[in-house]
């Protein structure tokens, strides 16, 4: 949730940054209007309550002195009715403000470039050189019999894939290697449910705005959704909790399946295994003090980048512009891996600092002296397993169609 105090302190800057993130200006106008109206109504309510307190004291004094308090009591009852009406108005305005604010994205950091879409992202650096072949490299869906798209579609429809044989073994090896690598960098392994309640999805920003991308369980007794990423349950492990200062930073890694409708991706990446409704991912999640989140962000980017480097996969770091940032992110660096079959870089990891946006929604705080302070939350892919498998297949392919296994994975095979 955005910090609504920013509306008062610097609405122009607040407005400018959110419009740069493709927020509807009308939504921001409604937000400002409702916020100001609520502020005015709260002031009116406080005045009525002040009058009520003063008149109640007056009634007590006059009653003790034996004076007639009939008209004063009538006035008190009339003011009480006004208070009840005013409280109802304030409650309704608070509800309206919360509904509007819940669909407003996080504000971008000052160093995030303004831009319309992915074409205006900024390349920060390249890591490793793309491989050079003495033959025309194939796309992953042209290599081996590891990926069975036909049977995946038979079982579940489009954007589902069965991974077979050595491909399945390599897929599992990648998961185990990623977990071990992340643990060596100080991230604690956790296993979490793949089904969560709606308030948990609200905490990390998927609900209410992105309900169309989620799979909901059709059950009258269970109000549950399949997770789109393990960021959701891992971040919310501390939903509505106050952490001790010496516990932070908390750093986790988690393997999970992820489920997404990909409602806005019709016609994109229809061939192969780039964009699936169900996929595997190893995630990084951190919960930090406000003044440590920048450093932890760098650590998470390095962790994912070093993991790719250890696999011998050429990649680049991209600073996302305002128009390409996710809903909850204040700043994001994407890692894009080189896919020889496509002859271009494709996203394989996305590391985001959400500042206190998710913590405000999920009520994740830490005790700093006598004060409870909102934590900062961060998340990132380390890595999308399917896309890493694809990158290895295309990068390590041989002219005869065979695929070499990266040295670091051999013991996991």
Active-site residue list: 260, 275, 347, 350, 387
Integer CA distances (angstroms), 259 to 3, 148, 309, 326, 402, in order: 30, 19, 28, 17, 31
Question: Is 177 in a helix, a strand, or coil?
Answer: helix
Question: How wide is the angle at C-alpha 359 spanned by C-alphas 357 and 361, nearest 5°?
Answer: 75
Query: Distance between CA atoms of 235 and 248, rounded to whole angstroms?
Result: 13
Task: Indicate the annotated binding residues.
Answer: 229-231, 260-262, 283, 347-350, 379, 381
Binding residues for ATP: 260-262, 347-350
Token output for 225: 């959704």
Q: Which residues are annotated as a binding site for L-serine?
A: 229-231, 260, 283, 379, 381
Closest CA to 238 of 357, 365, 150, 117: 365
Half-sphere exposure of 159 (CA within 13 A, CB side): 18
E strand spans, 219-294: 225-226, 241-244, 250-259, 278-288
Strand 315-319 relative to strand 122-127: parallel, antiparallel, unpaired? antiparallel
Say if residues 258 and 381 touch (Cβ distance below 8 Å): no
- Phi, psi at 359, each rounded to 5°: -65, -35
- Per DSSP, helices labelled H in 208-350 are 231-235, 293-310
């Amino acid at each position: 949730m955005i910090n609504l105090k920013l509306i008062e302190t610097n609405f122009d800057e607040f407005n400018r940054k959110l419009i740069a993130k493709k927020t509807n200006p009308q939504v921001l106008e409604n937000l400002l209007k409702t916020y100001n109206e609520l502020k005015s109504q709260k002031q009116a309510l406080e005045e009525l309550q002040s009058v009520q307190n003063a008149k109640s004291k007056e009634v007590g004094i006059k009653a003790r002195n034996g004076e007639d308090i009939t008209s004063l009591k009538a006035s008190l009852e009339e003011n009480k009715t006004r208070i009840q009406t005013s409280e109802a108005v304030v409650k309704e305005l608070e509800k309206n403000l919360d509904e509007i604010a819940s669909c407003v994205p996080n504000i971008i950091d000052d160093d995030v470039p303004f831009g319309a879409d992915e074409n205006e992202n900024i390349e920060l650096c390249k890591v490793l050189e793309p491989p050079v072949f003495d033959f025309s490299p194939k796309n992953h869906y042209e290599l081996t019999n590891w990926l069975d798209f036909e049977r995946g579609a038979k079982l579940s429809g489009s954007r589902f894939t069965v991974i077979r044989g050595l491909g399945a073994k390599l897929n599992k090896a990648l998961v185990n290697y990623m977990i071990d690598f992340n643990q060596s960098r100080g991230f604690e392994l956790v296993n979490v449910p793949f089904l969560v309640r709606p308030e948990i999805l609200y905490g990390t920003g998927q609900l209410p705005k992105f309900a169309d991308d989620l799979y909901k369980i059709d059950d009258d007794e269970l109000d549950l959704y399949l997770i789109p990423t393990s960021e959701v349950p891992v971040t919310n492990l501390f939903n509505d909790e106050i952490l001790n200062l010496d516990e932070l930073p908390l750093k986790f890694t988690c393997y999970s399946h992820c489920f997404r409708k990909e409602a806005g991706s019709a016609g994109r990446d229809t061939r192969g295994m780039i964009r699936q409704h169900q996929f595997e991912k190893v995630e990084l999640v951190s919960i930090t003090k406000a003044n440590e989140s920048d450093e932890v962000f760098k650590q998470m980017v390095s962790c994912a980048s070093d993991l790719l480097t250890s696999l011998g996969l050429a990649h680049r770091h991209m600073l996302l512009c305002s128009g390409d940032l996710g809903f909850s992110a204040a700043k994001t660096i994407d890692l894009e891996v080189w896919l020889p079959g496509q002859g271009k870089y494709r996203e394989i990891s996305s590391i985001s600092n959400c500042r206190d946006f998710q913590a405000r929604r999920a009520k994740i705080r830490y005790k700093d002296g006598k004060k409870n302070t909102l934590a900062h939350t961060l998340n990132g892919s380390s890595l999308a397993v399917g896309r890493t498998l694809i990158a290895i297949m295309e990068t390590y392919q041989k002219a005869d169609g065979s695929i070499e296994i990266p040295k670091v994975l051999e013991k996991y095979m």
